[in-house]
Chain A
Amino acid sequence: MAVTAVAGRRAPRRSSRSRKPFSWTDPSVYFIALLLIATMLAPVVYIILGGFRTNAEITTDPAGLPTTWQTQNYLDVLTGSTFWQQVFNSTIVALATTAGVVTLGLMTSFIIARYRFWGRGAMYALFAAGLMFPLTVAITPLYILVKNLGLMNTLPGVILPQIGFGIPLTIIILVPFVRAIPDEIQEAASIDGCSRLGFFWRMVLPLAMPGVITVAILTFIQSWNGYLLPLFILNREETFTLPLGVQAFASEYSVDTAKVLAFTSLSMIPALVFFSLFQRRIVGGLTGAVKG
């Protein structure tokens, strides 16, 4: 520690790379990091490994490793139709919600960030105030509304409210992105004969992409994991999304712990894969959003 501090004081020439004033080979840092990872992962690993065990094993020795790797639990889930039906429902809901939120949110952010008109500030404030209306508060009347619209037990009955509730955060994140595009670019595009809508397609869309991707990922994951709204809207088994399915499965097979664990671990795979693919974008997009 002292060594680097002295080196830093004396020779700033090569130190632009290494801003940390103490040595990063320090084993304690790695120890803490390892401990952290273990804490974060242990439950997940337990769920996945538990799916490979038998119920007898889990009962007699809850903390053990699988002695013989049972694939039967996973195969049972994967060959049954329930799981795939729920994966399908969740995928439809998450994709439609994401598409809706991104399309509507970006168009509106473009207008709010780039047009001057009476009521613009009020519109932004209205959407920002939407952050104060979480789904939990609106769920009971929302259920009545969806019932009156005849959308009970249908996927649009979940998708439309999810889009509505996804819009505020989207606009809060995207408006700074669109606003940050320099006026000069718009002027140049305009001189080259590009209409405002053309500018939207050719310049705003690509330039706001980091924000759009962040919003899309957050929306997708939130929708994929959504519980409260499907709980109220979807009562028939064939319309269940995965979270409802996991809970129904867990109560139906409450004695078959291993199978429940297998079902649970399979249901978290898609969100995990999706997230690992895009994690860099999430960090990058949030940087812009927090600063904006």
Chain B
Amino acid sequence: MSETQHESVRLAPDPSPGLTKVGGDTPVVSPPARRRRRKGIGWPARLEIALMTGPTLIVFLSFVILPVAMAAYYGFFSWQGYGPAEDFVGFRNYLLIFEDSTFIDALRHNGIIVVLSLLLQGPAAILLALLLNRQMWGQTLIRVLVFIPYVIAEVVVGTGWSLMLHGEGVVNAVLEKIGLGWLQNDWLSDPKIAMWTLMGILTWKYIGFAVILFLAGLQGIPEELTEAAAIDGASYWQIQRRITLPLLGPTIRIWAFLSMIGALQLFDLVYIIWGQYVAATAGTSTMATYMVANGRNAGEYGYGNAVAVVLFFISLFAALLYQRFILRRDTEGAITGGRR
């Protein structure tokens, strides 16, 4: 009870239009009431809706939607971050972005990362999930261990890997020791290799998440199907190919979606390992590191916001395409429409 009152205090002074739209003039019927009208229709239920969604909407609108709208607004200004934005420049920021070869490079790197993430992590994670889905000794422990890199902070991963991968680091030392000295490399700063180094680290860090998702998906596949196939004489790989993989389809497609969006937004690891300057020369810069380097770090907030808008629309475009052609049958309306 006290919580409800507390909420109403927070709610009262807010003039958010979204709130009144949702909680205000709307007839309310709770599911059981469809069959027989109950006393619950009307103000009490409206109040409940307002109280229980109001705070969420306030936080969500002010800290998620508003900043995105602000980015769209400031993107049209040349603005250094203090005082009101007055120097309206129209689409000049956007023209500058697409004329800047550094940005085009970053965009290309993002594209490479998206494709390689799907190609490297997807098949590997499916095989690992199949492997870990069977009863074997130490199964639980193995599952935990596979997930560990995913749980470790990007900063820790970045710091650790950059210590290990630099010229005199442990990776080169181990290669020397096991007689593979010719494989020694300048893993981080050689532009020919840096991207593959990044992909290695990304795969190491994020494959655990894919494996856990796939394991969860595999658990939803009824055993009867594989049993029936086995009785009919199908081999293990035939079963995986013809039964498990198609049934795992929705999970794989959701993972691919998350992976794609994550790859387009990639920032932390690149920024921590390479920093804003080296990332561009080593060929690992991304749109997000470009945005931070040329926006906040350069004091050009208007330009940074324009980059954010470009990044947003590229992600949105990719997401909509994906949704339209691949994800549609799995999550009907979850992202674009409101059929739920």
Chain A residues with a Cβ under 8 A of chain B: 1, 5, 8-9, 12, 15-16, 18-22, 24, 29-30, 32-33, 36-37, 39-41, 43-44, 46-47, 50, 59, 61-63, 100, 104-105, 107-108, 110-112, 114-119, 121-134, 136-145, 160-161, 163-165, 167-168, 172, 175, 183, 186-187, 190, 196-197, 221, 224-225, 227-228, 232, 242-244, 246-247, 250, 257, 260-261, 264, 267-268, 271-272, 275-276, 279-280, 282-284, 286-287, 289-291
Known: A44-B152, A137-B308. A108 touches B52 (CB 8 A): yes
A196 x B48 contact (CB < 8 A)? yes
Q: How far apart are the CA atoms of A117 and B46 in the complex, in Å?
A: 9
| CB of B2 closer than 8 Å to a CB of A | no
With a cutoff of 8 Å between Cβ atoms, the chain A residues found around residue B122 in the complex are none
Stretch in B180-188, B191-199, B213-221, B277-285 touching the partner = B213-221
With a cutoff of 8 Å between Cβ atoms, the chain B residues found around residue A105 in the complex are 56
Which residues of chain B from 29 to 85 have any CB-CB distance to chain A below 8 Å in the complex?
Answer: 29-32, 34, 38, 40, 45-46, 48-49, 52-53, 55-57, 59-60, 62-68, 70-71, 74, 81
Please name 25 pairs of A and B residues whose Cβ atoms are closer than 8 Å in the assembled complex, sorted by A.
A1-B236, A21-B230, A29-B131, A37-B142, A40-B204, A43-B157, A44-B148, A100-B59, A105-B56, A107-B52, A128-B334, A129-B335, A132-B315, A142-B63, A145-B63, A145-B66, A164-B60, A165-B63, A186-B31, A196-B48, A224-B153, A242-B155, A247-B159, A267-B156, A282-B212
B55 x A104 contact (CB < 8 A)? yes
A264 x B159 contact (CB < 8 A)? yes
B265 x A227 contact (CB < 8 A)? no
A225 x B153 contact (CB < 8 A)? yes
Closest-CB distance, B202 to chain A (whole angstroms): 13
With a cutoff of 8 Å between Cβ atoms, the chain B residues found around residue A228 in the complex are 267-268
A111 x B52 contact (CB < 8 A)? yes
Stretch in B89-97, B100-108, B168-176 touching the partner = B168-176
Binary contact readout B219-257 vs A (1 if CB under 8 angstroms, 0 otherwise):
110010011001101011001000000000011001000
- Of A15, A30, A260, the residue contacting B163 (CB under 8 A) is A260
Which residues of chain B from 263 to 291 have any CB-CB distance to chain A below 8 Å in the complex?
Answer: 265, 267-268, 272, 288, 291
Known: A121-B340, A129-B335, A134-B315. A242 touches B233 (CB 8 A): no
B155 x A144 contact (CB < 8 A)? no
Closest-CB distance, A205 to chain B (whole angstroms): 13
With a cutoff of 8 Å between Cβ atoms, the chain A residues found around residue B227 in the complex are 12, 15-16, 19
Which residue of chain A has its CB nearest to the CB of B215?
A283
With a cutoff of 8 Å between Cβ atoms, the chain A residues found around residue B336 in the complex are 125
**Interface on chain A toward B: helix, strand, loop, or mixed SS?**
helix
Which residue of chain B has its CB nearest to the CB of A146?
B63
Known: A12-B231, A21-B239. A286 touches B40 (CB 8 A): no
- Of B27, B68, B146, B308, the residue contacting A118 (CB under 8 A) is B27
Which residue of chain A has its CB nearest to the CB of B141?
A37
With a cutoff of 8 Å between Cβ atoms, the chain B residues found around residue A44 in the complex are 148-149, 152, 160
8 tightest A-B contacts by CB? A164-B63, A121-B338, A141-B70, A225-B153, A125-B338, A138-B67, A243-B155, A118-B26
- Of B34, B145, B161, B254, the residue contacting A37 (CB under 8 A) is B145
Which residues of chain B from 129 to 155 have any CB-CB distance to chain A below 8 Å in the complex?
Answer: 131-132, 134-138, 140, 142-149, 151-155
Q: How many residues of B contact A (CB 8 A)?
A: 122
| CB of B118 closer than 8 Å to a CB of A | no
Q: How far apart are the CA atoms of A114 and B170 in the complex, in Å?
A: 56
Q: How far apart are the CA atoms of A115 and B44 in the complex, in Å?
A: 12
